Structure 1
């Protein structure tokens, strides 16, 4: 297996290719995560809402890997952003994961009535208490990020958003890069759509790779971007790792740049009004 590069941010090192566990609820998630860990994944992304922290915790325990070699992310749901509720959320997650700390604790989605400075202050306190090594946010709009970073000056380790070859995050990357804050791309395969895209398929044939590998290689080709694909089957987990070997050229980059960049596939009813 190709080595997985890491990005250092706010005192932690995040492997640039991680393993997502969305839509893998319950005990069925345990063997899936065990498989990923056996293949060499060391960055596991979960959340309270995924209803699989118990299974992830069991997989981590059975893998018996050195804790310092793992990066574990979990997230608080948007109904738990009051200070006391945030604390309870992390406490519950740690119990389920069988961990003394997580590496990254994130706000999963913003809520319309959240007190953002109070949210970030509580998360910083949890970091100072050693229950999480770093903090971050997901699905924040640019105005929310500017409040968090420019006004509150929260030490955000990363920002997680939907990002794939059919959705531009150029404006967000232009804002985050000078601050040296990485972007974590969820749904990096556009919920499976990348696998059948003809442009990605054609580029894949050139590199003896799959279209999905090209989508991941495109993300990993970019400075400051981390990708967390999910894959239930061991073969798919292995295939995603194969993206690490792909080296795109300028012709490939131009072809992918020409794909539509306005396809957002994750926009639940409680999502903020996107400003892109």
Structure 2
């Protein structure tokens, strides 16, 4: 498993497990937990969830998957912006800890910028860290200006990651946000790296996939994983999809592959608004 370094030097998997939309149907809970356990067995030990996903149901699926093997995983969850006052952040985290059936969340994120002052959210994060309830904190869906505002605050430089929408068809963050984060050794977590499966169907992507004898989605995921300082967290609720995602880590794209994909999915040449799903 390739790894990406957090700012403090801890290594985490470059390929993790997303859980958005898990926990929405009780009938799927066992198979979803099985898929996560399969991913852990394959070395995809970073699991990303959130209190928003299925109103906490996703965290309960994660609890099922990691029961008895908490030490094997790096656990990520998120607080909703309208819960992100100082006290609200602490209370939301404690509720997530209860659903996850753990004592500590490894990385706790503000899901997107909200109306509460960032200073209040950071105070909540700090309280949680001092209590041992989280190890690191970060943000999600923050554009470059918002990251600049955050890191200018007292204690804001401790931000461990920024989770954003990033895939072949959503490359706007390459213009300024990814270079800004890279210059400060802040890794980026790419959510929906396969555009929720919609990335397939492009002729150039099919051509690259055929060169390597893989699927289009595997080629698209390999492209995201090819980027330094990026952690991909595709969601897969079926065992075969988990295994296909893991196999993408072994694909080595060539310079020709990259040129082919750049032609079909051009990189940005100017600043674009941050895209959010």
1:212 to 204, 214, 217: 217
- TM superposition score normalised by structure 1: 0.88
2:64 to 55, 58, 64: 58
Could you tell me whether the CA contact under 8 Å between 2:143 and 2:274 is conserved in 1? no
1:164 maps to 167
Query: CA shift at 1:160, angstroms?
Result: 0.1
In the alignment, structure 2 segments of 5+ residues that lack a partner are none
1:76 and 2:79 equivalent? yes
- Pairs within 5 Å for 1:102-181: 102-111=105-114, 113-154=115-156, 155-168=158-171, 169-170=173-174, 171-181=176-186
RMSD of equivalent CA atoms: 2.1
Aligned equivalents of 1:254 and 1:229: distance in 2?
Answer: 24
Structure 1 residues 267 and 226 mapped into 2: Cα distance closer, same or farther (>3 Å)? closer
- Pairs within 5 Å for 1:1-276: 3-10=1-8, 12-26=10-24, 27=26, 28=29, 29-50=32-53, 51-61=57-67, 64-65=68-69, 67=71, 69-111=72-114, 113-154=115-156, 155-168=158-171, 169-170=173-174, 171-258=176-263, 259-260=265-266, 267=276
Cα shift readout 1:171-221 (whole Å, capped 9, x = no counterpart): 111101110000000000012122322211110110112111111111111
Over 4 Å off, 4+ runs: 260-266
User: Which segment is superposed worse, 41-50 or 10-19?
Assistant: 10-19
Could you tell me whether the CA contact under 8 Å between 2:143 and 2:177 is conserved in 1? no
In the alignment, structure 1 segments of 5+ residues that lack a partner are 269-276
Aligned equivalents of 1:134 and 1:187: distance in 2?
Answer: 22
Structure 1 residues 193 and 159 mapped into 2: Cα distance closer, same or farther (>3 Å)? same
- TM superposition score normalised by structure 2: 0.88
